[in-house]
Amino acid sequence: MAIAIPTDAYCDLADLRAALPQRTFSATSVPTDAQAETHIKDVAEEINAVVGRVGYAIPVSDTRGVKVLKQVNIYGAAAKVERAIAAGAGGVSEAAAQYEDLYQDRLDRLSKNTLRLGTVGSPANARPEGQTTLQADEPTVTRDPKFTMEDNF
């Protein structure tokens, strides 16, 4: 079964194979090629849930956005594949943990809207590219200083 990008997912089995050249996917591998494609689609659904909640139109169709989400989709699917392989071997995979960390980091950045996806379907609250500072209408957090002029060292 073929994956339509970006309708079904942001990467396909060929992309996952390229990211995991040491892994072989077939009808009899663990996971099978069909299971790997399911992992890809499941991760894409998670990604869409996050970017949709931030306000982007789903599926993201902006060229830059699709490129960014392709890598996020690969990280998530690779984590699931590596976990499946490790579970089949009765072990724990360091590679799965590394891919999971990368995936969760990108999802977190997407949920905070700090990973810019492009302009098509951008949420109204998206910051212009390169802007990392708060604007006057954004909430701020104030904190008590750790040290004051009266502190003696």
Q: Are 33 and 39 in contact (CB under 8 A)?
A: no
> Is the pLDDT score of 108 beyond 70?
yes
| Nearest-angstrom CA–CA distance, 78 and 8 | 17
- Where residue 136 falls among pLDDT bands split at 50, 70, 90? very low
Q: Are 113 and 127 in contact (CB under 8 A)?
A: yes
Q: Give the closest residue to 71 by CA, choosing from 19, 123, 17.
A: 19
> Is the pLDDT score of 89 beyond 80?
no
Number of neighbours of residue 32 by Cβ within 10 angstroms: 14
- Where residue 132 falls among pLDDT bands split at 50, 70, 90? very low
Query: Rounded to two decimals, what is the model's pTM?
Result: 0.77
In tens, the pLDDT along 34-88 reads 999 999 999 999 999 999 999 999 999 999 999 999 999 999 999 999 999 998 7
| Nearest-angstrom CA–CA distance, 56 and 124 | 9
Question: Encoding tokens for residue 72?
Answer: 């996020």
Residue with the larger pLDDT of the pair 18 and 1: 18
| Nearest-angstrom CA–CA distance, 69 and 67 | 6
In tens, the pLDDT along 35-50 reads 999 999 999 999 999 9
CA 39 to chain centre: 13
